[in-house]
Amino acid sequence: MLDNEEFMRDASPRELTQNPLRKIWMPCKNGHIAQRRVCMTNCPTLIVTVGLPARGKTYISKKLTRYLNWIGVPTKEFNVGQYRRECVKIYKSFEFFSPDNEEGLKIRRHCAMAALNDVRQYLSVEGGQVAVFDATNTTRERRETIVKFAEQNGFKVFFVESVCEDPDVIAQNIVQVKLGSPDYIHCNTEEAIEDFMKRIKCYESSYQPLDENLDRDLSFIKIMDVGRRYLVNRVDHMQSRIVYYLMNIHITPRSIYLCRHGESDLNIKGRIGGDSGLSARGKEFARSLRKYIQDQKIKDLKVWTSQMKRTIQTAECLGVPYEQWKSLNEIDAGVCEEMMYEEIQEHYPLEFALRDQDKYRYRYPKGESYEDLVQRLEPVIMELERQENILVICHQAVMRCLLAYFLDKTADELPYLKCPLHTVLKLTPLAYGCKVESIYLGVDAVNTHRDRPECSVCTSLLKQAWQTSLIHSFSSYRTENIKKSRYVEESPIKSPPASDL
């Protein structure tokens, strides 16, 4: 297998060939395609949280990790508290975190270094592009140690500090998150709250916040009182994307309702894509959706649709204002638009087999892939994070992408998420995840879901497809050459027609 270094040694211009799966042009040599690792960062980035306990650092770390993985940046979270729990099996009390507890300090330093060693392994060996180091990191000494570690390993460092002085927000965070921690599994609520408040006091005496003058050479964002104010300092492209994301998230309780349009005429015919209208059952679903939304009595509900006929027809029945987003349009199937899967398999056997081999990265000829769709939907996710209660009426592939973001699904899982017609998914964001409720509205519809094929079937289909394509290519080549040879033989003795003179 050729790599980029081998190509660099060749001074002549490189030949290009189109990758059959993703339809992108790539360098090749002697018939071999160079395997290039796609990297969205110019060097590995280490994100470091800063702040007192119960300030939402882990909430930020988990959301950020989920977002970056969703947009295609391999990211992993390293929670130092988890390393401490593995090292010290039984948590006794807040005194473990006392500045005077030498043994506790030694253990905490050991755990931090163990986490950093795993960060090095992930970013330098395992192909990760971003690591999130989730800890308090409240002293300038600790942060200098992390910066030195990053410099030695060629990593960029970006600090994310969460500062909160609102006692209600802190109390809410303790009740919602910290009481469920393994540290307090055997404590009652009052004991746990009292101990955790004392744990916070242990950190307050040595806390040194990021300072815009003393730390002016560092890259950081300072989030104050859960997003009321921000301070941003020295950011590059990837860090600016992180900043933009963090400035859009909020903790206001809300629900996100996702559903597909009502059943369409093309759904009934088993044809993909297109821009057909609703079937009779699709219109019945739209009426049922209106009744469901009215019964929920949702405060200040916003409604979004795509710009395609079937979603707009569904929204029209609700009798409320709605906003159309072109970004929410269904995945573009290119030359396969309005075809049945059986027709695609017959006319484009190689394309059909390639899609089953890697459904997320496969791009339809003159169309899109799920990977393309995720990039198209990133502005939608940003705006969804800003909104409160909202209903999104969309399409199967689009709904899968949105659902994968909120449920933290991998690229491999995403294209096979089940999003049936005439079913509403109610998503309620929680501290470290998302609650999902599936509500079937009682109107029958066709099943448009295709299960993941078995690996052996994929391999067999791909082999057959390649053979079919090769036979077809050879046949076309032979026919074309026969035509050429006949023309060469006949042209010297054949006079052109009078009309050509």
Structure tokens at 339: 């075809």
* This prediction's pTM: 0.88
Closest to 334 measured CA to CA, from 307, 363, 377: 363
How confident is the model at residue 336, as a pLDDT? 98
Nearest to 2 by CA among 22, 23, 17: 17
Sheet holding 45-50: strands in order across?
A: 75-79, 130-134, 45-50, 156-163, 220-224, 229-233
Active site residues per annotation: 134, 164, 261, 330
Task: List the strands of the sheet with 25-29, edge to edge.
Answer: 15-18, 25-29, 32-33
Q: In 449-500, at which residue ranges do the beta strands (DSSP E only) sit?
A: none
Give per-residue pLDDT as tens, 332-347: 999 999 999 999 999 9
Residue 466 or residue 486, greater confidence: 466
Q: What is the pLDDT of residues 372-423, one digit of tens each?
A: 999 999 999 999 999 999 999 999 999 999 999 999 999 999 999 999 999 9
Mean pLDDT of the residues in the chain: 89
Identity at 32, one-letter amino acid code: H
Whole-number Å distance between alpha carbons of 434 and 66? 12
Pairing of strands 156-163, 45-50: parallel
Task: List Cβ neighbours of 31 (8 Å cut-off, separation of 6 or more).
Answer: none
Residue 173 has pLDDT above 80, yes or no: yes
Cβ neighbours for 198, distance < 8 A, ≥ 6 positions apart: 93, 94
Torsion angle defined by CA atoms of residues 215, 216, 220 and 226, in that order, rounded to the nearest 10 degrees = 80
pLDDT at 10: 52
Give tens-digit pLDDT for 346-381.
999 999 999 999 999 999 999 999 999 999 999 999
Task: Indicate the pLDDT class of residue 486, thresholds 50, 70 and 90.
Answer: very low
Report the relative pairing of strands 302-305 and 323-324 from DSSP bridges. parallel
Q: Is the pLDDT of residue 179 over 80?
A: yes
Q: Are 143 and 137 in contact (CB under 8 A)?
A: yes
Alpha helices by DSSP H, 20-94: 57-70, 80-87
Question: What pLDDT is attached to residue 206?
Answer: 94
Residues 489 and 386: their CA atoms lie apart, in Å, by 72
- Is the pLDDT score of 271 beyond 70? yes
